[in-house]
Structure 1
Amino acid sequence: MAPQGDQTEFVFLVMTLALRAISPRLLLFFFLLALAHTSHLQVKRDYDLYERYYMNGNIRCLRCDPGRFVQKQCIVQDTESICEPCDAGHTYSEHLTGLDYCLPCTVCRTDEEELSACSITKNTKCQCKKGTFCPPGNSCEICQKCTASCPPNEVIQTPCNSTSDVQCASPETASYALVAILVPVIILAVVCFLYFYCKKKCGGNGSRWLPKQILTVSLKCDESPAEDPEAPFLPQGTNLRFKDNIPENERNEIANKTFNIFVDLIPAKGFERFMRELGLTDNEIDWAKEDNTGLYSKHYAMLSKLHQNGNFDVNIWLNKLHSIKMRKVAQDIAAKLIRDGLFES
């Protein structure tokens, strides 16, 4: 058996040859994919730890597990709420939750087929039926028909599927495209293998063999520009408002309960972007992070800071969620605010 040192030298030799053969930009792209995957796993563990609690007024309660909802809130600090399971096939909760209800399962449209049924921890997954498609990221009101055939002198490069129409190209281009797809897949497999091999065999983070330029690149996944909506989320003339003759101290209590609902329903990965869109500065966001422990408390502090700055307007907040493509979140929050009697339309 060859000594361990010889095995390591062989790996580095193969790795060096691969690095010289691969375009730096292509290598950067594949490395970032692998790095994003490992970072996601670490963030997920932290997220589970911080999101164990929610606020019931001034009392911090443990959240219910996925597939359940809060039937009765805790009354002693840091204790469990009384949780009940969602109604299988009708409602679900995908994450740890402090809500007193489960979310309704999606019902597939007539032009869609059910990919996976709704369970108490997962919503229904739907896709367009065969022969139709809806591009990912688009909110299609109806699935579009696939193109029947390619123009003259062109062939099908990729067939129609539930998320993409037929892609046509000249015969030469189609052959090149097939090679262009297979080669990156093979390279990605090699790069990932080398990365995790070095992580296991060489110690450290598995990146000592990677160029410094790659290691200094930051992943910024939440900086896609927001698009202005064509129309406000709330129809004109139906803004949410406080009930009449509510005292100032009760308004503050309603604001606190409103903060809890926003923190509960807005995905953690998009929360800071939402804050910046509402005018909270980076310094104010950093202050909330440094002065509070737990992701829930940090997000709650950011909303409180907006309130202190005089920027608490539930209608502006809901419309802002709509403008940054969180329409479903805005709908759930608005429904919860009205159902709990905090606001009326």
Structure 2
Amino acid sequence: MNKGILLKACVCVFFSVVLLCEALPTPPPGTDPKRGGLLGQRTCSQGLYPSARLCCLNCPAGEHQVSPCSSDRGSSVCSECPMGTFTEHSNNLHTCLPCTRCRPDQEEVQPCSPTNDTVCRCKSGYFCALEQPCEVCQRCRSCKDGEALVKSCTAHSNSECAKTPTPGTPTKALWWILGVSVFAVGGVFCVWVYKKRNPWLTCLPSPSPGHSQQGATGHGSLEIAQNAHNVMVDIPLLPSEEPRSDGSVNEDDPGLGSSSSETSLTVQMPPPPACPVVFRCPSARNDDDSLLVPLNGEKSLKLCFEYFHVDMESKVHKRFFRSLDLSDNAINNANIEDRVYELLGVWLQREGQVATLHHLLRKLRDLDQNRTADSIVEKAIDNGHYERVVIPPLSGKSDE
């Protein structure tokens, strides 16, 4: 009785949920604020952007969009970037990007123009490493007493100093040469001693059981003696015995007999051990982000921007976009709700055809955001935007 009531209640709840979901309004395609219009981009080729149901041409570099086109593949209404702003590539931005202002510890190398951002560098005596976000210029290192300048300081690298060797003191290179020589001689000596104590290390052709050598000449006797020495078997060399005229054998003959002018020997040798050589190659890693291949070119990369917006924590945004060499002005002026889409779009326009998903994932992993990167990779593969190239492992074989 209780089971019947429970089953009826579950059926009622299920149908209630279905009716509620059908009653919810469905937003029109391309109006999802979180996607930032990415769905509409599926129907527009490169150099075009979606507007309603049309594909409009991007504005050229140095301009921004005022209003979209009125016909399919038509030109947008564009306006030149005002003073203090720029756009480096063709775009559909509503406003131009603000120019970077050089900090007090920097000097201006190239002023801002409508098509190029300001180029700044550290002042003389200061540097900022290229592989790190240049937030503060650091003072160049000065060589101390007993050190010599090896490399001068530049705007992107520190000075390099080395200790000055005193007269009569071996240099570092000489110590390396002596150390390598000692290890090499010691290794050769150890191998020689090991082989002397283990003669079975020598790989010899393994004769079949019961194999014998008969009718050995003087040259054959030397060969047998040499083989016997290699396998630690002592076999005496017998002198040649001339047969008598009556065909009898000399009584001093040790029982081996002789039917010709040369001694005939039968030697029983144990087979030497086999020496298999096994080559094993490490299997290739199939979890490397560089093996991801887009299935629809640049469209696959744009469709993955949604996963960065959903999975990446907001507290990581500034560090992530700084690692992509975006200026603080661009980051701070971006719309908070659409910051990820807008800044990734700026990065994509700047990089052009060299932009890859692998580059974005590597920046996340450098910031210890491995879980976020793994989630983005999984969604990109599951939704058919990317696939991973599988490299088969190389297996070694042994000769027996």
Q: Do they fold alike, i.e. is TM over 0.5?
A: no
Structure with more helix by fraction? 1
Give the TM-score, by structure 1 length.
Answer: 0.42
Give the TM-score, by structure 2 length.
Answer: 0.37
